[in-house]
Amino acid sequence: MIKLSQGIRQKNAYTIKLAELAKSKYKINDAVNLINENNKLYERTSFDDRRDIILELYKNDSSNSIVVTSTNKEKDVLNSDIRSYLVNNNIIDSKGFLFNTQAPISLVGIEKRFSSHYEIENTIHIKKSFNGIEPGTSGKITNIDLNNNTITAALDNGSIEKIDMFKNGDKISGSVDTIKEFAKGDHIMFLKNDKLIGVNNGQPGTINSIDENGIINVSVGKNRINVNLNHYNYVDHAYAITDYKSQGGSYSKVIFSALADRVNLNSFYVAATRAKDDFYLLTDDVDQLTKHASRPQDKKSTLDHTIPNDEIKNGINIHSKVEKDIDNSKQNKDLSRIEKDGYAIEQMPPNDNSFEKGMEI
């Protein structure tokens, strides 16, 4: 047994005990029971229901809370919910500016081999040469074939390429191009290292000022830096962040939105040990979450074994379930927001880490 320690960030008996239990796959059930005994466990099958509870928990202590999610889809929806609340209550300046942003698609291990983790219009970047395509080439995804596990992309060299993800998924990376609004007071996160401006992937900050030219002044720790969003646009809102991006962070109150099928020992440990004072857990299935959180992350490469058909189908079905649940939620609750954003966009002028250590293995 290997036991790795970390600096103690927890400040009370509840979070100290939780962090200790979350280290071991044999004690995950005890950790979940501890959360339940403290009345901080919510099981709701509907994302709409979890979403309402998360917003209320955040509103109760907005200056000290962070939402941690197991999927990027949930992160994006919850960021929108929370930011709307903060703008409506004048906590964030209502005068914001829209900018094109990029968000790297963070995939680890076997996830890199599935076309289901990408969407049409995502940008792909070739990292290693294959099929005569040179590193540094980029392009837009034009088609995704889940049955054959391929993506087709129009590359900037003028070619149209169909990429077999089982064979070459580890040789590409992807990013999501999105239009986002930023304003004075926004909490943001930098998504890519840049030595020139002095920011790191996963580093948080708060916007002190912003103008229509994309120049933002940001407080990062004890420093203030200027960033031109037209030159560096790997920026996102940081009211909700993924468990992957939360590594290394410490927060007074953590609200963990955990889709049971997307949690493992590593991700549960990281989320549970971010909290200094309080920790809440919301999931669609407590029993399944406990089961999955008791499993260490699979560190094997897909080249080490042949992937059976049922595993392929399961991976695709899990991803489809997440998308369907969240897309339904958006349709039910965000029609007015979507219409507003669509109008705002029409008015616009043309214009990579391992999980934190500390578990018992």
User: How does 140-175 read in b/e, with b if 16+ C-beta sit within 10 Å?
Assistant: ebeebebeebbbbbebeeeeebebebbebbbbbbbb
Phi, psi of 154 (to 5 degrees): -90, 110
Pick the CATH number of 13-94+238-296+303-346 from 3.30.230.10, 3.20.20.80, 3.40.50.300, 3.30.565.10: 3.40.50.300
Other C-beta atoms closer than 10 Å to the C-beta of 19 total 21
Using the Cα atoms of residue 133, residue 134, residue 135 and residue 136 in order, give the sign of their dihedral. Answer: negative
Provide the pLDDT for residue 8.
75
CA 130, 134, 136, 140: dihedral to nearest 10 degrees? Answer: -70
Provide the pLDDT for residue 72.
86
* Closest to 178 in 3D by CA, of 7, 11, 345, 352: 345
Using the Cα atoms of residue 206, residue 208, residue 210 and residue 215 in order, give the sign of their dihedral. Answer: negative
| Beta strand 187-190 pairing with 204-210 | antiparallel
Contact 47, 288 (CB under 8 A): no
Provide the pLDDT for residue 324.
59
Contact 54, 74 (CB under 8 A): no
Other C-beta atoms closer than 10 Å to the C-beta of 276 total 18
Q: 74 is written with which tokens?
A: 């949930």
CA pair distance 342, 354, nearest whole angstrom: 37
Beta strands in 6-149 (DSSP E): 41-43, 65-69, 97-105, 123-126, 138-145
Q: Which residue has the tokens 């979070």?
A: 15
- CATH architecture of the region 105-175: Roll (2.30)
Provide the pLDDT for residue 101.
95
Task: Measure Cα distances from 341 to 52, 97, 178 in Å.
Answer: 21, 12, 12
pTM: 0.76
CA pair distance 272, 280, nearest whole angstrom: 9
Residue 318 C-beta-side C-alpha neighbours within 13 Å: 18
Provide the pLDDT for residue 353.
42
Q: Domain limits of the chain? A: 13-94+238-296+303-346, 105-175
Provide the pLDDT for residue 9.
87
CA pair distance 101, 230, nearest whole angstrom: 9
Other C-beta atoms closer than 10 Å to the C-beta of 298 total 12
| Mean pLDDT of each 10-residue bin along the chain, 361 residues long | 54 96 96 98 97 97 96 94 97 95 88 94 96 95 96 96 97 94 97 93 96 95 94 96 92 97 95 97 98 76 41 50 57 47 44 45 44
